[in-house]
Structure 1
């Protein structure tokens, strides 16, 4: 009788045993790879992969058994029954296919274990059928306990092999399942071989129909070759899928890294993958994040809420960086499938830029963008609060309104950049003079307001003085303008107990300060209200006077003193208000200059006067007064050129009258404008000489063609020696400079006789003609044509 030890140690060729183990390992790995493909396939594709896996696994098990049987040498003749040998192969394939189908097609670990048990029983059925096919000259006896052990080992190890999740791509991750399947096959075979005892019997002979070992070797070789083919195909497919998976993974990682937002794929709280944006956000590398816990970077309940919030609604949280800093983020979580398993994709958006933008928007909503001061809305809210606080503390509240004197001229002459720089300087200088409980705001344009809680009005006056002095002492930019300002002050509750009224009264006081010389401050007084209101109504009506046809022109003749001939006309502006009647130019011209309405009105005067003068038959001169605002306007020269071209008036007939006041604000700018006007061919007269500054250097520096003596010096020139001396001096100065002199305001023959005796060139006044519509002087403008027309009408 042969013992188990004798059977395993002495009765086997270990070279063939090693070959059997190698074939078994190859078959097991091939089966696992093919089942992995079957799990990922669907429909008939899955059925095909299962059939190939069953053929490979069954053939491998069968080949392993019979190679091991070839290695078995009991020392007695033997062979193999053809039908039973073939049946053992069919049984192996069927059982392996059944077990794999159950494990793949039915989800769950229990189904995988059941399929593995079926596979293990298939190994046993194949083995014992193959042993039944073994025809030997002797008697075979089986040990029931060992047989039961072989059945148990095959079923348990087969179930374990299929229970392990070997569906992941890549050979390395499929090795555990293949190893357990190898153990299931080999452990069952050698345990079952140990369960059989062969007793030689010389009286028994081997059937002639039995397959000899040589034939069996050919069959096993063919089966092994089929296994190798299947293994090569499975390996090629696996390598291809691995390469495809790697390329797909690289593509997905490239797409994820291209995203601006941080992306994290995790299972429960464990990070499986993270893109570069998330890694930069937390201050680590993507590789270091793999395997880390999400709650490390989303402290508190943020990670738990992120996993629970599987909707499109964003969740705001704080992300902890590697250095411990916190970053505001927005999180959106979605369930995804990763590597065939359910995971969570977490999109993390950095909110720092948005928070900064929101903070900037909030700041701009309550502050001025240029100066950083509070704006009008913010000032109004603070004023309401301070008024309530003043009521509670039984104290006063002062509102100081200030604006910059002639700020528009700064923009026109030096550019808007200089204007912005001046506004910033004002904000900086005034803010430096304020204490902690005082507030400055920019209400718009060059208008500012200061809020000051105080006990006595004198405190507000002292603050206004400090502000004005600080602005006067401020150092202007290189070649830039000096800052000049006026301030109006209103007190709560003395002047008003309502916010709008308080601001309005402070603004009224500001207008009073500007009308009384500028560069000073004034407190509101009740009587100011009506005056300022009336002035503002007049300003409003003045802006619409031209459009409403309320403006008209009158002309006053200028004559030659020697001959008495009319040489030209000075055009004068008149305003007939529908309710106020005729408004004096001395009233509305200053208002027009302060409000810049003079630019619109002055353009209308130029166009109308030049159009009228161009229609005269006689080429008489036309004198037009020009405001300082017009002289300093950068578009004035271009406007005049356009008017001359459109009306067809010869430039030499137009005389522009300029006062010395218009020159001193910005001499360089004024000189440039006058020279450009001279370049157009116009003539320039100094108006109202003797009043204002009357600087002789102006006559030398500026290109004047005529001097006009103010009418205040001509009046009573024949009886007042001092006045006569001044007029003689001006006439002598004109002769010395080669400039003709025109005397204004001539009303009597005695005044005209004096001018004639002193050789004055021209005169203008009521004596020669009162300002009237141009039709009253048609005989001068149209000559004989006008006389003939009058005669024709009488006839």
Structure 2
């Protein structure tokens, strides 16, 4: 190295050495700058930029070499071979061009290193060809060690120069690459010059065709001007690109900020730009985000790898916010050119609202919107889960609940009050549940409770009692003061080993609880199954009885025993089942009332009876029984009115029979309905007097036109003193109130004589006539009605019976 230093210090003009270094630096900067433009281009444009960059680099190497050679003063005549001098320039340009072209090969990780090494080879080739062009009156010898050192220095620095110069977009990388390339050229040249030793030899003469140093200076000057021009062109291009990049960046930023979605531009995993929407999502400023790594925003490594692996792929992950919380987001990546270089943009869509909507939809799919209780689907899934995870020897219970007379709440107080009742039931019952117990609304006024981990039936009993007690709590809302429920209980695996059968058995026990007084609970028993199935089959068939023309009416005469005339008929319902035959009203009427089928059946009975009575030539009364369910139906009064209009039956010929039991459910509502019926002109009779909640206040408050003594008091009235006393009392009460009294169930002449003696006005029973098809009484409905005819008819039927 000392020899190299001595060569530079003693054998060179240092001013020209400095000039050589400046020219080399300008050429290197121009080469790196122009090469970066070539890297951003493609096709023919890239080839042009590569050619210009190669010329700049080749001229720079050549000019550096020959300016340094002009600075070299060996002290003896010298010159330059024109052909070799030009060959050295061509070699520098060609080899440099090849190296630069290799450096910008896309998708090759080692391209820039290999390209830099080829450029270094071009430096060496140019130098030693140029030295071969140097003619001097002497002998030139070389130090092999320094020759190798020059090639190594130039090769290493050249290989590093291009990767450094092309690395980043910042100016420091461009300058660093230019400095390294300058060092590669200068270190190679001066190390190689240090390897030269010249021995004067007068016998060696410089050829006359050799290029004098003066002419070489002119060529070098022209090359230097070309280098300076190219460097200035590169600077102008940089300024233009920078301005265009700034304009594009500003435009892109404006567009990005206008986007509702979050956008961030990344170089690899480094964030280089974000829009305001993304900054708002994170709670950080844009300045804090630029320069950060993706993992600081998206900590899920798997999601990041999936995102960066391919473009246009939707990836769901969580966004880390400033306060440490996370927000569900959806990401999609696409490649873009940003600031003249390939980047990728990531669109970030906030999924919080969508996730909340999905959770709400999921909640609605599994819960009842009115009570917020789980629905049937969720409850079924819980039972299945319980069965699947149950260990041997463990058990659980299912309680089925059905509110008692809930329809009356809707009819009396309205559906809003009914909804309030359902919500009250849900809140009161869930308040007594513990642990993993869950209550669900199955539909309407039906609820169910799953009771896991029970060790004995007593645990289910205690819960059922707690539920009944909770519903008895009084409140300010009148509709919630009379809440009661019937409960059926089934145990797994004692009663069933699958969900469907378990629920059926719990429902069966519920029916038994209703049948045995309501407001209570019952456990499933095997014998219940047949009874409930029978009842349900009757209920099912009863709902189709009208459509199948299985129902019919029979009529029983009512007689005025004081003058012996028939005053009317009571219409009685009969059901002939196609398979079961005649089914007693005592069997199917209660089922119809509990299932609300009585609404349609009662309307059919009333319409059929009125239509028949309207055809009679005699203006006889027709009496029709009315169920409590019908009476409390909000449409009942208007329905009666419409039937009278449709059939043409005068209202005064219709008598509706109401039991006392129907009046006690809601005194005021029943009174209002009866008063409206009275305004139509329809007669009202109190049926089965004495068997229900008999009250003298009922006779005074309700607008009755007749009292009907129940047949249980009339039977054996001539031989039973207590029955006789009761009948006399009722007859006296009727006379005192001015109400006619009709005695039902008269079956013997002795009973008839007793009633005649006690001045009872009207009777009805087998002694008068058995119920029969109305055609059997045509002589009574369409001709003169005589007592002897009725007596003969009654006697004949009695004999047949």
Normalised by the size of structure 1, how large is the TM-score?
Answer: 0.68
Q: Secondary structure at the match of 2:104?
A: helix
Give the aligned partner of residue 29 of structure 1: 32
Give the aligned partner of residue 787 of structure 1: none
Q: Is the 8 A contact 2:268 2:343 kept in 1?
A: no
Measure the CA separation in 1 of the matches of 2:733 and 2:771. 28
Does 1:625 pair with 2:625?
yes
Alignment of 1:140-539 (within 5 A): 144-145=142-143, 152-164=152-164, 166=166, 168-188=168-188, 211=215, 217=221, 220-233=224-237, 236-237=240-241, 240=244, 258=262, 290=293, 370=373, 375=379, 389=393, 404-410=403-409, 413=412, 415=415, 416-421=418-423, 423-424=425-426, 427-428=429-430, 431=433, 445-446=446-447, 463=462, 467=466, 470=469, 473-475=472-474, 478-479=477-478, 480-485=480-485, 514-519=514-519, 535=535, 538-539=538-539
Q: Is the 8 A contact 1:707 1:741 kept in 2?
A: yes
Give the aligned partner of residue 791 of structure 2: none
Give the aligned partner of residue 799 of structure 2: none
User: Could you give the per-residue CA deviations for residues 166-193 of structure 1, whole angstroms, max 9, x where no partner exists?
Assistant: 2554545444323312322444566677
Measure the CA separation in 2 of the matches of 1:98 and 1:510. 94
Give the aligned partner of residue 725 of structure 1: 729
Give the aligned partner of residue 58 of structure 1: 58
Measure the CA separation in 2 of the matches of 1:453 and 1:598. 41
Q: CA deviation at 1:591?
A: 2.7
Measure the CA separation in 1 of the matches of 2:671 and 2:67. 119
Q: CA deviation at 1:552?
A: 0.4
Q: Is the 8 A contact 2:307 2:313 kept in 1?
A: no
User: Could you give the per-residue CA deviations for residues 110-149 of structure 1, whole angstroms, max 9, x where no partner exists?
Assistant: 66444324323434555677789999xx979977457765
Change (3 A) 1:263 1:475: farther
Give the aligned partner of residue 706 of structure 2: 707
Q: Secondary structure at the match of 1:389?
A: coil
Q: Is the 8 A contact 1:570 1:623 kept in 2?
A: yes
Measure the CA separation in 1 of the matches of 2:779 and 2:262. 88
Q: Is the 8 A contact 2:496 2:502 kept in 1?
A: yes
Change (3 A) 1:647 1:11: same
Give the aligned partner of residue 20 of structure 1: 23
Q: Is the 8 A contact 1:464 1:487 kept in 2?
A: no
Measure the CA separation in 2 of the matches of 1:410 and 1:31. 90
Measure the CA separation in 1 of the matches of 2:25 and 2:497. 102
Q: CA deviation at 1:588?
A: 2.5
Measure the CA separation in 1 of the matches of 2:540 and 2:660. 29
Q: Is the 8 A contact 1:331 1:347 kept in 2?
A: yes
Q: Is the 8 A contact 1:50 1:100 kept in 2?
A: yes
Measure the CA separation in 1 of the matches of 2:81 and 2:235. 29
User: Could you give the per-residue CA deviations for residues 590-646 of structure 1, whole angstroms, max 9, x where no partner exists?
Assistant: 232223332232232234334434555676654332211222334545655665565
Measure the CA separation in 2 of the matches of 1:171 and 1:629. 94
Change (3 A) 1:422 1:128: closer
Q: CA deviation at 1:100?
A: 1.3
Q: Secondary structure at the match of 1:23?
A: helix
Q: Is the 8 A contact 1:278 1:348 kept in 2?
A: no
Measure the CA separation in 1 of the matches of 2:218 and 2:481. 117
Measure the CA separation in 1 of the matches of 2:291 and 2:412. 64
Q: Secondary structure at the match of 2:656?
A: strand
Measure the CA separation in 1 of the matches of 2:629 and 2:58. 108
Measure the CA separation in 2 of the matches of 1:163 and 1:103. 8
Measure the CA separation in 1 of the matches of 2:504 and 2:428. 22
Q: Secondary structure at the match of 2:572?
A: strand
Could you tell me which runs of 5 or more consecutive residues in structure 2 were left unpaired when the two chains were aligned.
1-5, 785-801
Q: CA deviation at 1:389?
A: 3.2
Q: Is the 8 A contact 1:716 1:751 kept in 2?
A: no
Q: CA deviation at 1:371?
A: 6.8
Normalised by the size of structure 2, how large is the TM-score?
Answer: 0.68
Give the aligned partner of residue 792 of structure 1: none
Q: CA deviation at 1:36?
A: 2.6
Change (3 A) 1:402 1:216: closer
Q: Secondary structure at the match of 2:393?
A: helix
Give the aligned partner of residue 589 of structure 1: 589
User: Could you give the per-residue CA deviations for residues 25-55 of structure 1, whole angstroms, max 9, x where no partner exists?
Assistant: 54143234234325xx3x5454333223223
Alignment size in residue pairs: 745
Q: Secondary structure at the match of 2:693?
A: coil
Change (3 A) 1:62 1:235: farther
Q: CA deviation at 1:157?
A: 2.1
Measure the CA separation in 1 of the matches of 2:357 and 2:27. 63
Change (3 A) 1:363 1:637: same
Measure the CA separation in 2 of the matches of 1:60 and 1:651. 125
Aligned Cα root-mean-square deviation (Å): 6.6
